[in-house]
């Protein structure tokens, strides 16, 4: 296996994992273990409606100082600032996020403001903080984003109409509680698309210019588990064992990409998400095999590992053949889990493609893509192939 | 070739001159707008008793101010990068990649990372040109 002989990297993954059906009820014990007394529960209206917050609130009892449930699909500076003001009023010393990526990133933003004061607009940047931030417990309600274990948050700057990136080692969540019951009622399409977000994190970590052995190991296991259990979840959402394995896979993929970074799939998915409102997981899922085809010659080694994890690397196959087999396997996997296959199916127009291609070139994710992306035309061609 | 003491005004002038006379830079950086400051944290053992503040300014392929400055001026830049002396030296010698150093917490960035990424060729060219200057580092002098 080829790592540079002078390989040098930092692996960062300080989050404690609590796993098992019903463990979201242990949130009070975990919180006490952090030495915290008053929590703000952060969530969104969908999660509230699904009744997932009630159990957490009950378990917290008096430790729950309030619930902030106004997180939109894409969180923004204004949302975080208002939620932090509410949290300050309540005198909280801990944040408990119950939800998907947008909720978790809101929680991360609140943690910074509770410790540092001010508005979130002052914290755009990388590794600016100099001390540990407010303790954050995350209870994911999807198996996909991996945000429960990363130190990154993506927050919309409403005034500029641009996403703002905050990367802070000091703000990684302290604890992630992976309770399969929290994902039990996720409908099949959402299960498939959030799962494909996790799959994309793992594949992009393996192809990354910053790949390293720890992230590679986590990504491989994430792919194995998703490959085995995601189809079970889309067929029978109530299978808690399979739900649990996909949650673990999403978390492992989170560690993998949180360290090795993502690539062109994410750059293109962020852009088509911003322009045509395609949900993140769906965009990733549709684009993944097409970007793999684009990267094939520059990422054969990583893709051969993907093939191995998917169980399609046959004896005697060289790396290129294995990479090809991986791409084919991802395509049929998408069909198997009932995931959309074309951008045109999800409302993308020709016009959206040109705008999104331009935006993709300025997305941070592109830096670690194994094949250098030189101009818009190349990105347009990939979008068209997926159209 | 003349040698310059790192992080002095003479060294900055030489660096600015390199950039200003590079045709390649002019082409690559034609879209870049804005100033970048570099803050070097003090490290008395390495010969840096006080923090050093450097302000550099670029506009569509042209080079504007390149100054040793004070804290307030440094913090007024569009992008503020800070870090320990040893890390900066590694970046200046291209021993570590600047974006990697940021993501790994070896350097800090205040500002919009996506803009830096979109213009990563410009950033790399500026560092390449710095490498061409014969530099005397305080802990090697
Ligand atoms: Fe993602």
- Provide the residue range defining the domain that includes A256: 188-386
Query: Which whole number is the average pLDDT over A201-225?
Result: 97
Cα(A230)–Cα(B91) distance, rounded to whole angstroms? Answer: 43
List the single residue in A9, A126, A210 with the smallest CB-CB distance to B102: A126
Query: Which whole number is the average pLDDT over B86-101?
Result: 87
For the cut 90, the answer to whether the pLDDT of residue A359 exceeds it is: no
**Site of tokens 């808690």:** A240
Same domain, A135 and A206: no
Give the model's pLDDT for residue A387: 97
Query: Which whole number is the average pLDDT over A53-60?
Result: 97
Nearest to A144 by CA among A43, A250, A265, A284: A250
Reported as a pLDDT band with limits 50, 70 and 90, residue A84 is very high
Give the model's pLDDT for residue A31: 98
Region B3-131: CATH code:
3.30.1050.10
B108·A126 Cβ contact <8 A:
yes
For the cut 80, the answer to whether the pLDDT of residue A68 exceeds it is: yes
Chain B CB contacts of A7 below 8 Å: none
Give the model's pLDDT for residue A19: 98
Give the model's pLDDT for residue B140: 85
Would you list the domain boundaries of chain B?
A: 3-131
The tally of domains found in chain A comes to 2
Same domain, A159 and A233: no
For the cut 60, the answer to whether the pLDDT of residue B51 exceeds it is: yes
Cα dist from B71 to A194, A329, B15, B37, B44, whole Å: 45, 56, 21, 10, 19
**Site of tokens 């990363």:** A150
Interval A275-302: pLDDT, tens: 999 999 999 999 999 999 999 999 999 9
Cα dist from A28 to A21, A103, A173, whole Å: 16, 20, 16
For the cut 60, the answer to whether the pLDDT of residue A39 exceeds it is: yes
Query: How many CB atoms sit inside 10 A of residue B132's CB?
Result: 12
Reported as a pLDDT band with limits 50, 70 and 90, residue A105 is very high
Cα(A344)–Cα(A323) distance, rounded to whole angstroms? Answer: 27
Same domain, A130 and A220: no
A125 or A1: whose pLDDT is higher? A125
Domain boundary among A153, A168, A183: A183
Same domain, A232 and A208: yes
Query: Which whole number is the average pLDDT over A225-240?
Result: 98
Give the model's pLDDT for residue B66: 94
Give the model's pLDDT for residue B97: 83
Query: Side by side, which strands form the sheet with A162-167?
Result: A152-157, A162-167, A125-126, B107-110, B79-84, B33-41, B52-59, B62-69
User: Please, which residues 71-130 of chain A have a Cβ atom closer than 8 Å to chain B?
Assistant: 124-128
- pLDDT over 90 percentage in chain A: 89
Reported as a pLDDT band with limits 50, 70 and 90, residue B8 is very high
The DSSP call for residue B106 is: S
Ligand 1 centroid, distance to A131 Cα (angstroms): 27
Nearest 5°: phi and psi at B18? -55, -45
Count CA within 13 A, CB hemisphere, residue A26: 15
**What is the distance, to the nearest Å, from the Cα of residue A281 to the centroid of all Cα atoms in its chain?**
9
Domain boundary among A166, A183, A200: A183
Lowest pLDDT segment from A158-167, A209-218, A320-329: A158-167
Contact A266, A294 (CB under 8 A): no
B110·A363 Cβ contact <8 A:
no
Q: What is the pTM of this model?
A: 0.90
- pLDDT over 90 percentage in chain B: 63
Query: How many CB atoms sit inside 10 A of residue A35's CB?
Result: 9
Same domain, A206 and A111: no
Tokens of A17: 């994992």
- List residues bridging with A94 in a β-sheet: A39
- A/B interface, count of CB pairs below 8 Å: 55
Contact B22, B125 (CB under 8 A): yes
- What CATH number is attached to the domain comprising A249? 1.20.1090.10
- What CATH number is attached to the domain comprising A121? 3.40.50.1970
Ligand 1 centroid, distance to A111 Cα (angstroms): 22
Reported as a pLDDT band with limits 50, 70 and 90, residue A111 is very high
Tokens of A208: 């990354």
Ligand 1 centroid, distance to A265 Cα (angstroms): 9
Residue of A nearest to B104 (CA): A10
Same domain, A214 and A69: no
Same domain, A286 and A375: yes
Give the model's pLDDT for residue A177: 98
Same domain, A109 and A225: no
In a domain, A9, yes or no: no
In a domain, A4, yes or no: no
Give the model's pLDDT for residue A132: 97
Same domain, A343 and A274: yes
Same domain, A81 and A209: no
Give the model's pLDDT for residue A1: 57
Query: Which whole number is the average pLDDT over A137-141?
Result: 98
For the cut 90, the answer to whether the pLDDT of residue A104 exceeds it is: yes
In a domain, A306, yes or no: yes
In a domain, A10, yes or no: no
Average pLDDT, chain A: 95
Give the model's pLDDT for residue B98: 82
Tokens of A228: 């085995």
Give the model's pLDDT for residue B120: 79
Reported as a pLDDT band with limits 50, 70 and 90, residue B111 is confident
Same domain, A170 and A236: no
For the cut 60, the answer to whether the pLDDT of residue A166 exceeds it is: yes
List the single residue in B105, B111, B114 with the smallest CB-CB distance to A127: B105
Cα dist from A263 to A65, A295, A358, B120, whole Å: 40, 10, 16, 15
For the cut 80, the answer to whether the pLDDT of residue A151 exceeds it is: yes
Cα(A153)–Cα(A292) distance, rounded to whole angstroms? Answer: 26
List alpha helices for chain A, DSSP H: 27-33, 45-49, 52-60, 77-89, 101-116, 188-207, 213-235, 240-260, 264-276, 280-295, 300-310, 319-336, 350-360, 376-385
Reported as a pLDDT band with limits 50, 70 and 90, residue A341 is very high
Give the model's pLDDT for residue A159: 87
Query: Which whole number is the average pLDDT over A102-129?
Result: 96
Give the model's pLDDT for residue A158: 87
Q: Looking at the complex, does the CB of residue A362 fall below 8 Å from at least one CB of chain B?
A: yes
Cα(A375)–Cα(A383) distance, rounded to whole angstroms? Answer: 13
In a domain, A11, yes or no: no
Nearest 5°: phi and psi at B74? -60, -40
């Amino acid at each position: 296996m080829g790592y540079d002989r002078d390989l040098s990297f930092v692996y960062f993954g300080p989050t404690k994992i609590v796993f098992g059906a019903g463990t979201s009820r242990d949130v009070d014990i975990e919180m006490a273990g952090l030495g915290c007394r008053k929590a703000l529960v952060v969530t969104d209206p969908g999660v509230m409606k699904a009744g997932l917050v009630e159990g957490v609130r009950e378990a917290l009892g008096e430790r729950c100082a309030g619930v902030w449930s106004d997180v939109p699909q894409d969180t923004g500076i204004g949302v975080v600032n208002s939620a932090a003001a509410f949290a300050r009023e309540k005198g909280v010393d801990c944040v408990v996020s119950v939800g998907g990526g947008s909720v978790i990133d809101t929680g991360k933003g609140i943690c910074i403001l509770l410790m540092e004061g001010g508005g979130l607009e002052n914290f755009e940047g990388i590794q600016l903080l100099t001390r540990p931030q407010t303790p954050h417990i995350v209870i994911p309600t999807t198996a996909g984003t991996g945000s429960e274990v990363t130190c990154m948050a993506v927050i919309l700057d409403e005034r500029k109409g641009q996403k703002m990136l905050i990367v802070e080692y000091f703000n990684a969540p302290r604890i992630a509680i992976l309770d399969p019951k929290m994902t039990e009622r996720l409908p099949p399409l959402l299960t498939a698309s959030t799962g494909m977000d996790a799959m994309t994190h793992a594949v992009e970590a393996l192809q990354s210019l910053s790949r390293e052995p720890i992230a590679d190991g986590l990504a491989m296991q994430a792919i194995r588990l998703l490959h085995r259990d995601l189809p079970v979840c889309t067929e029978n959402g109530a299978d808690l064992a399979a739900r649990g394995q996909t949650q673990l896979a999403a978390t492992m993929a989170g560690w993998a990409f949180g360290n090795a970074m993502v690539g062109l799939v994410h750059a293109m998915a962020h852009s088509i998400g911003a322009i045509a409102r395609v949900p993140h997981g769906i965009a990733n899922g549709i684009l993944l095999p097409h970007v793999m085809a684009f990267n094939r010659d520059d990422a054969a080694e990583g893709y051969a590992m993907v093939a191995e994890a998917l169980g399609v690397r046959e004896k005697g196959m060289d790396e290129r053949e294995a990479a090809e087999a991986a791409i084919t396997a991802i395509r049929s996997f998408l069909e198997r889990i009932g995931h959309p296959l074309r951008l045109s199916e999800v409302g993308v127009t020709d016009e959206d493609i040109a705008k999104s291609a331009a935006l993709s070139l300025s997305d941070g994710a592109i830096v670690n893509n194994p094949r250098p992306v030189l101009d818009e035309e190349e990105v347009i061609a990939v979008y068209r192939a997926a159209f | 070739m003349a040698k310059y003491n790192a992080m002095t005004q003479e060294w900055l002038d030489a660096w600015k001159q390199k950039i200003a006379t590079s045709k390649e830079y002019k082409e690559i950086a034609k879209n870049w707008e804005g100033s970048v400051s570099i803050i070097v944290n003090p490290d008395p053992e390495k010969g840096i008793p006080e923090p050093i503040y450097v302000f550099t300014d670029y506009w569509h392929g042209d080079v504007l101010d390149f100054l040793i400055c004070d804290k307030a001026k440094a913090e007024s830049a569009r992008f503020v990068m800070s870090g320990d002396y040893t890390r900066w030296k590694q970046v200046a010698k291209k021993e570590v990649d600047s974006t990697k150093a940021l993501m790994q917490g070896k350097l800090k960035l205040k500002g919009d990372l996506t803009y830096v990424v979109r213009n990563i060729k410009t950033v790399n060219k500026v560092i390449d040109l710095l490498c061409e200057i014969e530099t005397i580092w305080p802990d090697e002098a």
